[in-house]
Structure 1
Amino acid sequence: MIRMLLRVLGNEYAGPVRRTVALMTVTAIVEGLSYALLVPVLRALFGSRPADAWPWLAAFAAAVAVFGVLRYRSDVSGFRVGTTLLRGMYRRLGDHLARLPIGWYDSGRVGQVSVTASSGVLEAMGVIAHLLSPFISACVTPLTIVGVMVAFNWQLGLAALAAAPIVAAVQVWTGRSVAATDAQRHERGHQATGRVIEYLQAQPVLRAGGRTTERFGLLDDSLRELQRASRRTTLSALPGVVGSTLVVQAMFTAILVLGAYLALGGNIGVAEVLAILVLAARCADPLLALTDIGGKIRGARGELSRLDAVLRTEPLPEPSRPRRPRSHDLALEAVSFRHGDRTVIDDLSLSIPEGQRLAVVGPSGAGKSTLLQLLARFYDVDAGTVSVGGVDVRAMSSEELMARIAFVFQDVYLFDGTIEENVRLGRPDADHAEVRAAAAAARLDEVIERLPGGWDTNVGEGGALLSGGERQRVSIARALLKDAPIVLLDEVTSALDPVNEQAVHAGIERLMAGRTVVMVAHRMRTVQRADRVVFVDGGRIVEQGGHEELLRHGGRYAAFWDIAAAPVASA
């Protein structure tokens, strides 16, 4: 457990963790040794001179005081180290997630990472603060007491010691039997969480279909599976709980019988038997608690395993000697890219001179958006090269590449903050005038004027308090403020009303001026503003050329244009 914890956190935290573990171990040993002083105390009290117990009582009080101080210091150390580890874990996880390929974040992983990064990290890092001390105490204190018992009477000590391997075997067997069912329970819990979210998001559809009073079958099935998995986990842990209880009770009974036998034979005094029985009773409590603590530690170990799996995911490699391009032209040379078993881009070559606008059109699933993602190095290609200014994007640092590219996507995500905070993400160090100028160019100022809070209006999580067109204007203002030489646009006006579409088009025109632009578009108004058009299908370029040239050619693009223009003409 500790080795996995240190592997997840990194070697820089090894020292504080080991010191805390050592302090907790010493505390547990002192606790066990303090109980050893009960033997001479009881021997004196039941002997001919009870007053002789006073020095031993003083020694016992001193030992308890030392134990109290050590326990306080070890608990404080555990909390401090746990807090430090928590902060370090969040930092390391955040840094690592920021370096992973964007393609790694599919819908399933986003849910898993969100759970792991919240409750999972807290549970895993809580081991040091809350579980390690009682776990060490439950293991070390009984062993120390058994050592004391061996020193006072080897027969009774060995009888107690015989229970140790049995208790350990029960714990190992319980851990193995629970591990499989615990993993299933976690998986069912993750699925149930997804179904609950799906049920909440599907409310408009369910109500439109008149199913507001019906149960959502998929959610019910998922919750039943979670219930069954939780029951299996509880039942699989039950034999371990019962087994540990039986072993501890059998140990205490054996010591009691053996102590009575030795006392009746005159081999040991009644006071010593009573004292050893007290010690045996002190062994029983932590041993019985070991099963519960072990279950919590196994749960934390599972979270650590999931964290470890995320941190072991290889990020995109960074060059040891990054290069800087001297121009802003783009090129793809014999590029191929596979997503799972599917070839999305197949031996594609394309060049975009600096300052030109390229429109990418084609049917859904043709690889248009993937083309933009490869240019921005959201993924690394499987074959070929993607370059900016003649420099392979893999030879550039991520910071250098991102500084040269501005994105405007169809699905705009805004952070839960004010409009100004979201615009400033484009360039946090921009001054007041630059932010206002970017907003005016994107026609965001029209939105701000009619909002009661103006620039300080909170946009809500994901920008939920703004309309789609308003979110798009914030995104364009952000891109304008960034002032990057390369602009990538992905279906930015496909779902806007006419008023917002006109405003967004005006902002896009400002954004594209004098920059290298690659735009994925279905709206023909957008395509006509391009210097060159490529028609992509099946991950390959089927046709390319100017808009008028491709229309005269009468190929795939012309047919696509006729279909797109038909609704406009009929209207």
Structure 2
Amino acid sequence: MIRRLIALLGPERSRPLKRAAALLAVAAALQGAVFAFLLPILRAPEDAGPWLTAVVVATAVCGLAYHRGVVTAREAGYTLSAHLHRRIGDHVVTLPLGWFTPARSGALGRLATQHVMSVMGVPAHLLDPLVGAVVTPAAAVVALCAVDWRMGLAALAAAPLAVAACRWSGRLVRRTDEAADAAAGEAAARVVEFARNQPLLRAFGLGGPGLRLLDDALVAHRNAARRMLTTALPGLAVFVVTVQAAFTALVLVAVFAALGGQVDIPTTVAALVLAVRFTEPMLVAAELGAAVRLAGGALDRIERVLAEPRLPEPEVSQAFGTPSIEFEAVRFGYAGTPVLEDVSFTVTAGTMTALVGTSGAGKSTILRLVPRFFDVDGGAVRVGGADVRDLRGADLLRRISLVSQDTYLFAGTVADNIRFGRPDATDEEVRSAADRAGLGELIARTCVGEGGTRLSGGERQRVSIARALLKDAPIVLLDEPTAALDAAAERAVTRALDELRGERTLLVVTHRPATARAADRILVLDGGRITESGEHDELLRLGGRYAAFHARRENARGWRIPAGRNTEGD
């Protein structure tokens, strides 16, 4: 385990860990060997002065080494925690969005909290007993060999049995660790889901404690923990019995040797003390063995995430030209399910293009491919004349603002969330972006709540639009920007889009006829293909899918829910 942590930290960051292990090893060796000084003291008390001095010096050195080792181990643990968090954060932002399934997102939360803390605990809290469990018995064996060779051989014979029992116990724990961790993650996700969706659950009479999904997850977690406990206990019991048997054997050897007159009383006393020092650290380590093995499982999961292939990037980005968007024979699908097939179009710099089509036609997928949230299966996506695969992620995203359907706001003020688009923006610039997005006095709201829960869906959407406007990127991607807005807010956002036309390159997914009508070009998608392309009036004259879409939307504007007659008594 220690070797894995040293390799994970690298040569520079692992120095505190190595230093802590060395200091604790010195302290543990002195703890095991200092009792060997008892023999000359017991044999010749009148000449015990030098040996007593040696005991005092060894004890002082042991205490100093132990103190510095523990402090350094704590520092190594904190360094390891910071390093793991940094590596996990730096790595996951380079993974394709397709990696972030709901199950993996929940596991990632546990990875960055519980699993990192578990691994950090190895140097911070477990290194001392782990080193002592190895070095102190080894030093005691050497001292036993010096005191009485029979006791030394008995200890050497018992050591392989103890190691074998320890490894067998570890395999039993690791066998059930993955299942227990998965069950714990599912239970935690269900608890959070249950707490966050109380309004919906109560509306359908499901807000009580008997919700089946939550109950099933908690029961599965309990059963997995029980299986892990019942599987691990036999291995722990075997290890403890093996160590205790070794101690008993050492005591018997010492007693029979003393009774047979083969050793004197001082030698027997020293040998028995060393036998205690041989077995005691291993028994202490047995109590912590499960924690070490669970930390090993946590480290396995961290390393699996760090080994996930990231989107490849060039060392230097290709030159970025005018802010245009080009799709050339693009094919793409999720998990083998095709979504886009042979999609080709160009959004000229400074124009607005609208994507129209039925749900599932691939409109939002097109927006996700522009900032390279996924790599295409075939063809090419170009931004500014450069293939997105030839641009560094930071260089590409710096030129793009995105307004998605799923708007997430961070806990803080409305102004804080708008400034997220450009942290160095002035208050006047934030206010201007808010006004252009139709926020009005909403910007004075002191707190939006976690995830923006204190705002309506339309208000969250307007904050997202203001954030994108403040970023002031040359390319703006909007996914249903007015879908959750009332009439007044929609007019404000439409005015903002009109202002951006000519200044920015706009690619907009929309179901609103007014937004589509304002576009320079409309692309109609059906079944992952572009079936129609042109201006609003041109597509109406064509009488195809867009004309039918427009007619349905226009007819829907006049829908009314008729007043129902009273049917009581019918």
Matched, 1:405 2:394: no
Q: Secondary structure at the match of 1:238?
A: helix
Match for residue 191 of structure 1 among 182, 186, 189: 186
Tell me, in whole angstroms, the C-alpha distance in 2 between the residues paired with 1:488 and 1:535. Answer: 17
1:85 aligned partner: 80
Q: Deviations over 1:496-549 (max 9, x none)?
A: 333433333334444445211111111222111111111112221122111222
For residue 227 of structure 1, report the CA deviation from its aligned partner: 1.1
For residue 387 of structure 1, report the CA deviation from its aligned partner: 0.6
Match for residue 419 of structure 1 among 401, 409, 414: 414
**Residues 134-533 of structure 1: pairs in structure 2 closer than 5 A:** 134-213=129-208, 215-448=210-443, 451=445, 457-512=446-501, 514-533=503-522
TM-score for the superposition, normalised by structure 1: 0.94
Q: Aligned AA for 2:32?
A: G
Matched, 1:108 2:111: no
Taking a change above 3 Å as real, the CA distance of residues 512 and 85 of structure 1, as seen in their structure-2 partners, is farther
Tell me, in whole angstroms, the C-alpha distance in 2 between the residues paired with 1:201 and 1:427. Answer: 30
C-alpha RMSD of the superposition: 1.9
Aligned length: 560
For residue 103 of structure 1, report the CA deviation from its aligned partner: 2.7
For residue 448 of structure 1, report the CA deviation from its aligned partner: 2.7
Taking a change above 3 Å as real, the CA distance of residues 38 and 345 of structure 1, as seen in their structure-2 partners, is farther
For residue 380 of structure 1, report the CA deviation from its aligned partner: 1.2
Tell me, in whole angstroms, the C-alpha distance in 1 between the residues paired with 2:370 and 2:381. Answer: 6
Contact 2:165–2:242 under 8 Å retained in 1? no
Query: Structure 1 regions of 5+ residues with no counterpart?
Result: 452-456
For residue 479 of structure 1, report the CA deviation from its aligned partner: 1.6
Taking a change above 3 Å as real, the CA distance of residues 11 and 344 of structure 1, as seen in their structure-2 partners, is farther
Tell me, in whole angstroms, the C-alpha distance in 2 between the residues paired with 1:212 and 1:461. Answer: 21
Query: Structure 2 regions of 5+ residues with no counterpart?
Result: 561-570
Contact 1:441–1:510 under 8 Å retained in 2? no
Taking a change above 3 Å as real, the CA distance of residues 205 and 321 of structure 1, as seen in their structure-2 partners, is closer
Contact 2:236–2:286 under 8 Å retained in 1? yes
Q: Secondary structure at the match of 1:379?
A: coil
1:454 aligned partner: none
Tell me, in whole angstroms, the C-alpha distance in 1 between the residues paired with 2:187 and 2:384. Answer: 48
Q: Aligned AA for 1:570?
A: W
Contact 1:473–1:507 under 8 Å retained in 2? no
Tell me, in whole angstroms, the C-alpha distance in 2 between the residues paired with 1:394 and 1:463. Answer: 34
Q: Would you identify which runs of 4 or more consecutive aligned residues in structure 1 move more than 6 Å?
A: none
Tell me, in whole angstroms, the C-alpha distance in 2 between the residues paired with 1:7 and 1:360. Answer: 50
Q: Percent identity?
A: 46
Match for residue 127 of structure 1 among 122, 132, 139: 122
Tell me, in whole angstroms, the C-alpha distance in 2 between the residues paired with 1:380 and 1:31. Answer: 59
Taking a change above 3 Å as real, the CA distance of residues 393 and 244 of structure 1, as seen in their structure-2 partners, is same
2:542 aligned partner: 553
For residue 397 of structure 1, report the CA deviation from its aligned partner: 1.8
Tell me, in whole angstroms, the C-alpha distance in 1 between the residues paired with 2:208 and 2:99. Answer: 38
Q: Deviations over 1:7-39 (max 9, x none)?
A: 443444233333332222222212212232233
TM-score for the superposition, normalised by structure 2: 0.94
Tell me, in whole angstroms, the C-alpha distance in 2 between the residues paired with 1:37 and 1:563. Answer: 97
Tell me, in whole angstroms, the C-alpha distance in 2 between the residues paired with 1:212 and 1:459. Answer: 25
